[in-house]
């Protein structure tokens, strides 16, 4: 059960970090497919956070 909680926390923190990158850095030219959309930025961050949470 503790392993699943690490993954969930990683997903939530990763999604928040992805959204923060979208808001703070973004993509000024609009050519970035991931950072151009807040949904995709949060999704990408959540996936990476889940991977990191599962390995911790």
Delimit the domains of the chain by residue range: 2-55
Average pLDDT over residues 15-43: 89
Yes or no: say if 49 and 20 are a contact pair by the CB < 8 Å rule. no
pLDDT of residue 56: 64
Average pLDDT over residues 21-49: 89
The pTM for the full model equals 0.86
pLDDT of residue 30: 76
Q: What are φ and ψ of residue 45, in 5° steps? A: -65, -40
């Amino acid at each position: 059960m503790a392993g699943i909680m690490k993954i969930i926390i990683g997903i939530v923190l990763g999604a928040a970090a992805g959204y923060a990158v979208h808001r703070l850095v973004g993509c000024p030219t609009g050519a970035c497919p991931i950072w151009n959309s807040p949904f995709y930025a949060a999704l990408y961050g959540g996936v990476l956070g889940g991977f990191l949470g599962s390995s911790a």
